[in-house]
């Protein structure tokens, strides 16, 4: 029974890593579509969302089957519970990548707005957080997970800065309000991706240490 359980958990690990790779590629493509104003690439991201949704459902079914049939305990139980939550976080990152792609497709068909908005820098930070949170999962590395958690403040600050710039721009260019809203939405979607990466990192800490750190002060980042 134990050997069978470990085999099921190894299979689960492969599937969650496969989903991680799909989500990371979707996010990369969405950001590239935004920066390069590439409608075709944005459509690739939107078309790939069903595949990620299918993977999420399959992983959730596997987790529930393991819980029902094997009734795991201790680290095995924490692993399956954490994968259930991480699976949901990854699917949401995939959804946010689609949202960025949709904004990118719209913005590509309109004249660019002359504002110093560092979407590439913000997206790079969010992408790095996602990648590092997956590294923490693969290696069960709580130090990396803590670093991801601390990085969220930087993305939050970038989002606030963009909001301020766009708000000031709309005040002087009311005729570009629709495009400005799409820019603002893009910033918020990237900020949410960083939030989901933080959730994954916190789930890894729970998996390894059995401690729920969500909503705790981030003293380690100071």
How confident is the model over 126-185, as pLDDT tens digits?
999 999 998 998 888 999 999 999 999 999 999 999 999 999 999 999 999 999 999 999
Whether the per-residue pLDDT at 110 is higher than 90: the answer is yes
Q: What global pTM score does this model have?
A: 0.90
Whether the per-residue pLDDT at 33 is higher than 60: the answer is yes
pLDDT of amino acid 222: 38
Whether the per-residue pLDDT at 27 is higher than 50: the answer is yes
pLDDT of amino acid 218: 59
Q: How many CA atoms lie within 13 A of 44 on its CB side?
A: 16
In whole angstroms, what is the distance from residue 37 CA to residue 30 CA? 10
> How far is C-alpha 72 from the geometric centre of its chain's CA atoms?
28
pLDDT of amino acid 38: 97
Segment 49-75 shows an average pLDDT of 94
Segment 113-128 shows an average pLDDT of 91
Domains (ranges, CATH) in the chain?
2-221 (1.20.58.220)
With tokens 């000031």, the residue in question is 168
137 close to 200: Cβ distance less than 8 angstroms: yes
Segment 19-33 shows an average pLDDT of 94
What are the tens digits of pLDDT across the range 83-95? 999 999 999 999 9
CA angle in degrees (0–180, nearest 5) for 10-199-23: 60
Structure tokens at 180: 């400005």
Phi/psi at 117 (nearest 5 deg)? Answer: -95, 115
Contacts (Cβ under 8 Å, ≥6 apart) of 128: 151
Q: Considering the chain, what is the average pLDDT of its residues?
A: 92
Q: pLDDT class for 210, splitting at 50, 70, 90?
A: confident
């Amino acid at each position: 029974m134990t050997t069978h359980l470990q085999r099921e958990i190894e299979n689960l690990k492969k599937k969650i890593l496969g989903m991680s790779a799909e989500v990371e590629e979707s996010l990369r493509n969405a950001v590239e579509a935004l920066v390069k104003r590439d409608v075709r690439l944005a459509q690739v991201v939107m078309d790939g969302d069903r595949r990620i949704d299918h993977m999420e459902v399959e992983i959730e079914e596997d987790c529930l089957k393991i819980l029902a049939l094997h009734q795991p305990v201790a680290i095995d139980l924490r692993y399956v519970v954490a994968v259930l939550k991480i699976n949901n976080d990854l699917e949401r990152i995939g959804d946010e990548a689609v949202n960025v792609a949709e904004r990118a497709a719209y913005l590509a068909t309109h004249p660019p707005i002359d504002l110093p908005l560092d979407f590439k820098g913000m997206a790079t930070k969010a992408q790095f957080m996602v990648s590092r949170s997956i590294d923490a999962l693969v290696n069960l590395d709580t130090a990396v997970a803590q670093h991801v958690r601390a990085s969220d403040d930087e993305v939050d600050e970038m989002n606030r800065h963009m909001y301020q710039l766009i708000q000031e721009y709309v005040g002087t260019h009311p005729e570009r309000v629709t495009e400005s809203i799409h820019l603002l939405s893009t910033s918020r979607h990237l900020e949410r991706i960083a939030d989901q990466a933080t959730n994954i990192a916190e789930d890894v800490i729970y998996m390894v240490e059995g401690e729920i750190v969500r909503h705790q002060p981030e003293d380690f980042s100071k």
